[in-house]
Amino acid sequence: MGLKIISKNSIIILLVFFLISACKTTKELNQPFDNFQYENALLWEISGNDLEESSYLYGTIHLIESDKFFWPTGTLTALDECEQIVFEVDLDDMFDVSSQLGLLTKAFMNDNKKLSDFYSEEDYSIVKNHFEKIGIPMFFLEKIKPMFLTVFASGDIDLGAGLGEQSSVKSYEMELYELTKDAGKSVEGLETMEYQISIFDSIPYQVQADMLIETIKSSNTEDDAFKEMENMYIDQDINRMVAAMNEEEAGIEGYEDLLLYQRNRNWIPVMAKKMSSGQVFFAVGAGHLGGEGGVIDLLKQAGYSLIPLSHQSKI
């Protein structure tokens, strides 16, 4: 199945997923990070708790430079073993036109609100100039939820090139999706796109607007942050990822549980149910794996054994 050409609507839907999954947090931990140190591994085997066969947990980075893309040892073998792949959301929805249209309508603010309502004249000019500089006229964006626009403000992806062969970045989700569909296996999600977009509505538009302009103002240093995250990923260092997420100021303090930790908790019973029916390959953002309240920690609390496959040592 060829998925190298992806419609712009599909890219926009996928970028909503990237935004929710990549939000940085500033959560104060109840316990020090030393209690949650894990071996450097992106691929984990899930066993025990009466499972007849092992399933797998894989941490993705949503965007990576094409020349740095790699598969950690054992990833494709694990994928081949499994009957289905489960992403944070069901990526089949990206290619369903009716689903796309329904979701895109939810990207707009309610009550006739527009971006200029949340900025001073000076700050609005900064936002307007930024988007016009990258070729997106402001009249297209005026009524879209500010947090949604933060993806485009980061500059990590060129909408013109999309995520195909001409793009300078790759998506692990899309590469895994293509392999899964080529093999005729099923794809499912841990949560719905509707739920992810509904999270936007739980964060006041002013907070979203503040996050957007902060992203734009710091865009000159964004490349360094992106490269640093890439390096952590290449090193498979989920401990550093968790620490970096907790150190970053993202303007969303007070919404960390909503964006990350509650979602992790929601996923555990869904994962348990799916694993009880057969082998599953779970692919979620690597930032969800480690730390207190991370997926590895929560699965262990639920009685499962987690083995990092790069080192084959049990924790």
What per-residue confidence (pLDDT) applies to 312? 47
- Dump pLDDT digits (tens) for 28-72: 433 334 456 788 999 999 999 999 999 999 999 888 889 999 999
Residue 244: predicted pLDDT: 78
Q: Average pLDDT of 272-297?
A: 94
What does the pLDDT average to over 112-122? 95
Would you say residue 196 has pLDDT above 70?
yes
Pair of tokens at residue 200: 């936007």
Q: Provide the CA 263 distance to its chain's centre, in angstroms.
A: 12
Closest CA to 82 of 60, 54, 61, 49: 54
The gap from C-alpha 57 to its chain's centroid, in whole angstroms, comes to 15
Q: Rounded to whole angstroms, how far apart are CA atoms 173 and 286?
A: 12
Compute the average pLDDT of residues 170-190: 94
Which DSSP symbol is given to 191? S
pLDDT given for residue 289 in this prediction: 94
Q: Using an 8 Å Cβ cutoff, are 247 and 41 in contact?
A: no
- Is the pLDDT assigned to residue 249 strictly greater than 50? no
**Sorting pLDDT into bands at 50, 70 and 90, what band is 19?**
low
Q: How far apart are CA 31 and CA 163, in angstroms?
A: 39
Q: For strand 55-60 and strand 43-47, is the pairing parallel, antiparallel, or unpaired?
A: antiparallel
**In the structure, what pLDDT confidence band is assigned to residue 92 with cuts at 50, 70 and 90?**
confident
pLDDT of residue 140: 85
Neighbours of 274 (CB within 10 A): 18
DSSP character at residue 44: E
In angstroms, the CA 130 to CA 137 distance is 10
- Contact (Cβ atoms closer than 8 angstroms) between residue 82 and residue 281: yes
66: exposed, middle or buried (C-beta count within 10 Å: 0-12, 13-18, 19+)?
exposed
pLDDT at 7: 46
pLDDT at 223: 62
Strands 64-65 and 169-170, bridge-based pairing? antiparallel
pLDDT at 174 over 80: yes
Confidence of residue 264 (pLDDT cuts 50, 70, 90): very high
pLDDT at position 278 is 95
Contact 190, 270 (CB under 8 A): yes
Longest pairwise C-alpha distance within the chain: 62
CA distance linking residue 200 with residue 250, whole number of Å:
15
Specify the 3-state DSSP secondary structure of 302: coil
List the structure tokens of 140.
Answer: 């297209």
Between 258 and 312, name the one with better pLDDT: 258
